[in-house]
Amino acid sequence: MSMISENLSRLSLEIDTACRNADRSPDDVRLMGVSKRQDFRRIQDAYDAGLRLFGENRVQETKEKWTERALPGVELHLIGHLQRNKARDAAHLFDAIESIDRIETAEALQRHLQSGESTVPMPILLEMNTSGEARKSGVTTFDDLMELLDGILEMDRLVVRGLMTVAPFTTDKSALRSSFALLRTSRDRIAARFPQLQLHELSMGMSGDFPEAIAEGSTLLRVGTAIFGDRIA
């Protein structure tokens, strides 16, 4: 058994435990392997161990790393900041974009998706800054979140499936849970206003804080080093 396979087995047990503690089903939580700056051999090891959901932070790295490599059944998400000038590539590379926080970025994606052959809308998540840290991306208020959503609802090639956040870098569990709870309550407020939307995704929780994220309702865990080890480059 490879190191990555062992890591995935251990994580599966830890996620199951966190779900039981939160009175949730493990089937409601998906594990994403964050493969930013990881060698493709490690990605292949994770795939061989059963992982099918992967997240990348940069469009150019994804293009260089994934374009010539096909792994059947893989779902690939962009979880890093998307620049407008990378929207064309992103529209073709990814199955979902988790980091939409500007209407201009959504508009660029919409244009490039309209020019493509597929008419199936791309799932996106809206990124919210729930930590209050200035260096983080994401809208900072619920009003800004609603304004962004209102604009995107006019776009036929994008479909909002939920929200995403990055918690503060801290070991304070109460601060972590407050950050995650803010995302959950924001999603719930949107769902109450727009009951027709299927806002089932809450992408929150990483290697060091996923138990707290699960306790607050996470459905997508973005885990890198706990699966792959240290980044290669």
pLDDT tens-digit series, residues 170-218 = 999 999 999 999 999 999 999 999 999 999 999 999 999 999 999 999 9
pLDDT tens-digit series, residues 23-59 = 999 999 999 999 999 989 999 999 999 999 999 999 9
Q: Name the pTM for this structure.
A: 0.95
The fold of the 3-228 domain, in CATH, is: TIM Barrel (3.20.20)
Q: Whole-angstrom Cα distance, residue 174 to residue 181?
A: 10
Give, as one character, the DSSP assignment of residue 31: E
Chain-centre distance for alpha carbon 232 = 22
| CA quadruple 197, 58, 51, 15: dihedral, nearest 10 | -70
Residues near 145 by Cβ (< 8 Å), separated by ≥ 6?
126, 128, 139, 163, 186, 190
